[in-house]
């Protein structure tokens, strides 16, 4: 069993070490809806649970549970499944709204219940610090992969044209001489990337994070679109 320490001692140590860090704890509690702005100055919640004992088994157990869910989510076979699982974690742990309205009532709780609730509040706060925005990270990784795949395909298409004087009718004509395998669109359930011949050039694109075919229109072309595209020749602005 890990040792328990009175919660107020922990906060006092943080406060004496670094005032900005202490303020971050208050902000984190506000983020979870545990503490609102009007209460932050008087810190009634901290006063209410100041004599509680932190059960680190509960705190670290909460963190371990979330990290295990992260591992499972990242092992999903496609982007849509990964983002769905990661979004559920965000929903469960980072958009919590406390049902507590009268913090003074915490003092009236039996010691065991007060210790449990206090430990859970600290666990929620730690999760806010330790866990990144996994959905944002997942989207960024998939976008970077798509940029890399489209770049590789663009070089293969350029090599093909240098030999054949024109671009291929479809991407499969690049295999196996110019590229070993044609990348798929992770944003579209691993469907084929969209390739269209355009006069002497081409349009090659992924449907992007919104999963919708916007005809190759990128975010910079239309704020409602987010296709990831390569256009040859580069269009005039």
pTM of the model: 0.67
Provide the pLDDT for residue 22: 46
Q: What is the residue extent of each domain of the chain?
A: 20-131, 136-232
Provide the pLDDT for residue 151: 96
Provide the pLDDT for residue 89: 86
Level-2 CATH architecture, domain 136-232: 2-Layer Sandwich (3.30)
Per-residue pLDDT tens listing for the chain (237 residues): 334 444 444 444 444 434 454 455 555 555 555 454 444 443 555 666 666 787 889 888 988 998 899 999 999 988 999 999 998 887 776 554 444 455 667 777 888 888 888 788 777 777 776 776 788 889 999 999 999 999 999 999 999 999 999 999 999 999 999 999 999 999 999 999 999 998 889 999 999 999 999 999 999 999 999 999 999 997 765
Q: What's the per-residue H, E or C state across the chain?
A: CCCCCEHHHHHHHHHHHCHHHHHHHHHHHHHCCCCCHHHHCCCHHHHHCCCCECCHHHHHHHHHHHHHHHHHHHCCCCHHHHHHHHHHHHHHHCCCCCCCCCHHHHHHCCHHHHHHHHHHHHHHHHHHHHCCCHHHHHHHHHHHHHHHHHHHHHHHHHHHHHHHCCCCCCHHHHCCCCCCCCCEEHHHCCEECEEEEECCEEEEEECCCCCCCCCCCCCCCCCCCCCEEEEECCCCC
């Amino acid at each position: 069993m890990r040792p328990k320490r009175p919660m107020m001692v922990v906060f006092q140590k943080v406060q004496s070490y670094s005032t900005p860090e202490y303020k971050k704890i208050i902000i984190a509690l506000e983020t979870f809806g545990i503490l609102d702005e009007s209460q932050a100055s008087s810190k009634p919640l901290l006063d209410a649970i100041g004599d509680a004992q932190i059960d680190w088994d509960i705190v670290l157990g909460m963190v371990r549970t979330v990290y295990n869910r992260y591992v499972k989510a990242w092992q999903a076979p496609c982007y849509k499944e990964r983002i769905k699982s990661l979004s559920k974690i965000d929903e469960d742990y980072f958009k919590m709204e406390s049902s507590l309205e009268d913090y003074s009532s915490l003092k009236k709780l039996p010691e065991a219940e007060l210790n449990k609730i206090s430990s859970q509040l600290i666990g929620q706060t730690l999760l806010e610090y330790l866990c990144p925005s996994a959905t944002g990270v997942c989207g960024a990784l998939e976008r970077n992969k798509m940029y890399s795949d489209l770049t590789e395909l663009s070089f293969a298409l350029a090599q093909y044209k240098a030999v054949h004087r024109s671009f291929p009718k479809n991407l499969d004509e690049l295999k196996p001489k110019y590229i070993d395998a044609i990348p798929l669109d992770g944003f579209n359930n691993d469907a084929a990337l969209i390739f269209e011949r355009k006069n002497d050039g081409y349009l090659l694109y992924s449907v992007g994070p919104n999963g919708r075919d916007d005809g190759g229109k990128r975010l910079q072309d239309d704020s409602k679109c987010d296709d990831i595209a390569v256009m040859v020749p580069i269009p005039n602005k």
